Structure 1
């Protein structure tokens, strides 16, 4: 069985060593990787195919989260539309590290990130997936009321809409179009049964993310023989590395060992200051 194509999005500007590591890990695992972008890029590793993101979703009306300015909503919408237009393709955030090749016989490829949510940071859905159709339909309306936050919140939003002041998705809770929507619709359609256990794609929880930076730590309790990808929590990881680690992980940490494995030099693609920005998907809040 041939390996699926991996698709990712980097809006514009330089890649840091963290994104280089994740993207190169797929190429080194034997995948074709297509990196969609809107503006000029820098520091793109060899072996990565570039594509115009505007062919999937125009940049006009760019959606950003009100509180953080992150383009997470745009990224969510982009991945759903990309999957609908593609075949044998799996989406991967630029902070998803490929430990082993991704393989699927059904087209479904996603996993639990916690006891509550299935994350879309790595997301494969067949073109005829009812959940994908539902995600596309829901995100067509930027003021759609999500039913998954309970009746009190639904009543609040319905009241504001009736008063002529509907609430935009950018003002709603973090993840409204991301893992919260993905989890809801996968459950609604029954496709949640395809979701992998947490150890497969999200072995380190958000709370445990700092363990990837501890030197000489045995990570086998988290990264097991069933693990195929590791989520690096990009926005928080970049901030931690800049603020507390001198801009790069210790060579004997889990993350440092991965950089060595793939020949990535942090000094050649340094991290930006942790302010957030055009590429900050921020799916780890």
Structure 2
């Protein structure tokens, strides 16, 4: 039986690692229909996930990257707002969000605090007519806009640069400006923050403690943090993959992540996490191999 809420995810292109495979599979196993939006070829997609080209939501001409890291996080932020505005029965989930139990909402709002001061957007449900969603969409139309929640001194500095003909692009602003910072600001501004869940409902393990998920000695602590109220556990994708690459590419036996991989029958070897050296070696091999004629 399928649940009434679909899950929307984005992977621009390239192979999924077993971390993303696990997360996508967890939503399928919880009864959700999962749509994975993409712009290029994607490999290792679990059977049952519907692949949908991202142009149906937002054109690739809107691609935008973070200046320092080259990350597509800014584009992902914009993409999820358009997706939610276009689909009233969909909840957004990052591909590093593991589904503990079926997502349900009586109001269409589905998000949680990740700290005492910030609401995260890694899992995000908003009604299409949400006032906060409308303001998020309006804000992200201007790549050189000045965030209204910035301190007066910083806003003045950015205004001076704009008047001098050298406006600062959003890709050069602080990380998360169009993501959790904006989500928190507008939900609080409109009063919709009243719908936010407590931290342990979607983020029972904090970013600071992310390695607990892959270490066997912390498995019991993680299981205690995941309560009957918990809908999702966040795996903090890029950082988790980087750490896994340093410990042999797989979580420790008996760790929380290893237990989940076993539960969902995920073959880690079929969607591996490569070390930096392995990726560089693969790239060198591909570049050295002459094209087939």
Q: TM-score range by the shorter chain?
A: over 0.9
Instruction: Select 2:265's aligned residue among 263, 266, 282.
Output: 263
Given that 1:3 and 1:102 are in contact with CA atoms closer than 8 Å, whether structure 2 keeps it comes out as no
Q: CA deviation at 1:247?
A: 0.3
Given that 1:138 and 1:144 are in contact with CA atoms closer than 8 Å, whether structure 2 keeps it comes out as yes
Instruction: Select 2:253's aligned residue among 248, 251, 254.
Output: 251
Q: Counterparts in 2 of 1:1-285, with a 5 A limit?
A: 2-216=3-217, 217-218=219-220, 219-243=222-246, 245-273=247-275
Number of aligned positions between the proteins: 275
Given that 2:249 and 2:274 are in contact with CA atoms closer than 8 Å, whether structure 1 keeps it comes out as no
Q: CA deviation at 1:58?
A: 1.0
Deviations 1:227-274 (A, max 9, x none): 11000000100000001x200112310000000000001111001445
Give the SS at the match of 2:146. Answer: coil
> Which segment is superposed worse, 205-214 or 189-198?
205-214
TM-score (normalised: structure 2): 0.91
Map of 1:281 onto structure 2: none
**What is the alpha-carbon distance in structure 2 between the residues aligned to residue 274 and residue 176 of structure 1?**
29
Map of 1:283 onto structure 2: none
**What is the alpha-carbon distance in structure 1 between the residues aligned to residue 145 and residue 44 of structure 2?**
38
Q: CA deviation at 1:193?
A: 0.3
**What is the alpha-carbon distance in structure 2 between the residues aligned to residue 274 and residue 188 of structure 1?**
43
Structure 2 unaligned residues grouped into runs of 5+: 280-293
Of the two structures, which has the highest relative contact order with CA contacts closer than 8 Å and spacing of 6 or more?
Answer: 1
Higher helix proportion, which one?
2
Given that 1:17 and 1:270 are in contact with CA atoms closer than 8 Å, whether structure 2 keeps it comes out as yes
Q: CA deviation at 1:59?
A: 1.0
Given that 1:251 and 1:260 are in contact with CA atoms closer than 8 Å, whether structure 2 keeps it comes out as no
Give the SS at the match of 2:103. Answer: coil
**What is the alpha-carbon distance in structure 1 between the residues aligned to residue 87 and residue 128 of structure 2?**
8
- Of structures 1 and 2, the larger Rg is shown by 2
Give the SS at the match of 2:257. Answer: helix
Give the SS at the match of 2:272. Answer: coil
Deviations 1:156-199 (A, max 9, x none): 11111111111110000000000000000000000000000000
Structure 1 unaligned residues grouped into runs of 5+: 278-285
> Which segment is superposed worse, 232-241 or 216-225?
216-225
